[in-house]
Amino acid sequence: MTTREILNGLGQFSNFDIELFEKYSERRILNKNELLLKEGEVCKSFYYILSGSFSQFQIDDIDEVIIDLHLQDEWMFNQQSLTEQTPSNTTIKAFSKSEIIELSLSSFHCLCSKSPSFLQFGKILSQSINRVFLFDNSLKPYEKYSYINKAKPELVKVFPIKMIASYLKIAPETLSRVRASY
């Protein structure tokens, strides 16, 4: 995906804006299980996933409780930590070998000072609407699974049942039954 395609997903950007973005952002490769953000660190960047997948989780005793699952062609960050500049309550880890574009918060502020077009990034700050819908509505397991199949159909192809079940806050056995009847 080109920089133009990535940015045009957010709004209208000129050639000048695209050049600025390329100058102020950085491409990175992460290996499977490499940490992008550790719990307790302050999230200081927006990340766009060019390839690969990521999990965002909290540790409960020894288990990883999945908070979000991220796929190629989406923006990713810890919203509360990024916007409030407070320690993250989650860890973000590469689930597979991945390539990302990183835009630091300080670079983002520079971009906004050079072109008001970058204020359109506000749209990615509201992308957690899918997660809010999923958990603020008392959905039954079948409805949760159906919703993620519509919102992120690739999720069920990339991540194992145990991780998807944790994300949906249902038992893996329940998810297996739901998938069988889906």
Range of the domain at 35: 1-126
Boundary of a domain, candidates 110, 126, 142: 126
- Looking at the structure, do residues 114 and 81 belong to the same domain, yes or no? yes
Longest distance between any two alpha carbons in the chain, whole Å: 53
- Looking at the structure, do residues 49 and 136 belong to the same domain, yes or no? no
Count of structural domains within the chain: 2
- Looking at the structure, do residues 16 and 77 belong to the same domain, yes or no? yes
- Looking at the structure, do residues 181 and 167 belong to the same domain, yes or no? yes
- Looking at the structure, do residues 163 and 106 belong to the same domain, yes or no? no
- Looking at the structure, do residues 84 and 19 belong to the same domain, yes or no? yes
Instruction: Give residue 18's pLDDT.
Output: 97
Q: Over the chain, what HEC string results?
A: CCHHHHHHCCCCCCHHHHHHHHHHCEEEEECCCCEEECCCCECCEEEEEEECEEEEEEEECCEEEEEEEEECCCEECCHHHHHHCCECCCEEEECCCEEEEEEEHHHHHHHHHHCHHHHHHHHHHCCCHHHHHHHHCCCCHHHHHHHHHHHCCCHHHHCCHHHHHHHHCCCHHHHHHHHHHC
Which residues of the chain are modeled with pLDDT < 50?
Answer: none
Instruction: Give residue 138's pLDDT.
Output: 77
Q: Cα 145–149–150 angle (5° rounding)?
A: 120
Instruction: Give residue 151's pLDDT.
Output: 87
CA–CA gap between residue 182 and residue 142 (Å, rounded): 8
Instruction: Give residue 134's pLDDT.
Output: 62
Instruction: Give residue 126's pLDDT.
Output: 72
- Looking at the structure, do residues 99 and 133 belong to the same domain, yes or no? no
**161-168 vs 141-151: helix axis angle to the nearest 10?**
110
Rounded to two decimals, what is the model's pTM?
0.90
Instruction: Give residue 20's pLDDT.
Output: 97
- The residues pairing with 159 across neighbouring beta strands, listed in sequence order, are none
**129-136 vs 141-151: helix axis angle to the nearest 10?**
170
